Each structure stands twice: as C-alpha cells, then as structure tokens.
Amino acid sequence: MAIEKLVLIKEAELTNNCPECFNQDLKLTFYQKHRFAKLYHRITNEVTHQIICNKCGSDIYPAKWTDDIERIFEYYQKMMQPEKSSLKLKPLFYLLVLFFIAIIGIGGYLFSTGLIQF
C-alpha cells in the first residue's frame, strides 16, 4: 500500500484582504502529491493549493476569492515550478528482480541437466 504525501513546493505571504476578517495577512501554499511505496517513489503531476488567513485561521476557498486574490493566485501559479512527474525504483525492487532471475536461471539449468522433469 502506497503512502501519499503532499510535499511543499512554494509558500507566499499575501497582503490581500481576507474575505472573512478583512485582515491583510494571508498565506498561499502550493503542494505536490508524492506516493511512497516499498518498491518505488512516484512524483505525480497533481498540484494543490491552499490559502489560509493567519489572523482568523480560516481557509479561503475559490468561491470567496476577490479579484485581487485571483490575480495574485494566477501570478504565483505561473511562478511555481513543480517537479516533473517521475518514477524512482527503490533498491528492494532491483533485489527482487535479481532474485526472480536467479530462480528462473537455476530452474532452467536444473531442467536442462535433467534433474527436474515436468
């Protein structure tokens, strides 16, 4: 079972007004989803974002965004550089592949010498 984890890509302090408390202390954060399993580490293309008011602690959802917040969000979204989608195999995967190749090789050798018959 793979463990999914959101890895921080970019964080920015915004000076726009919060739609809830009208304070000028917002934080915009971009995350990228990574999957960790025993045999591999996969970096996905999925990027999420979150805007939080540091004063009242509320999440600012896109339905409540003002035009200013939307423009700033688009600006930071263009600046953000997520990692490329990739698949990195772990050493355990290579050990298992070598193990199965060795088992098949030993079985083929024993079959060819006549020690095993099907």
pLDDT per position as a tens digit, 5-28: 999 999 999 988 888 888 888 999
Low-confidence ranges of the chain (pLDDT < 70): none
What is the model's pLDDT at position 92? 94
What is the model's pLDDT at position 105? 94
Letter string b/e over residues 89-118, b meaning 16 or more CB atoms within 10 A of that residue's CB: eeeeeeeeeeeeeeeeeeeeeeeeeeeeee
What is the model's pLDDT at position 28? 93
What is the model's pLDDT at position 23? 84
pTM of the model: 0.77
What is the model's pLDDT at position 66? 87
Both tokens assigned to 74: 């688009």
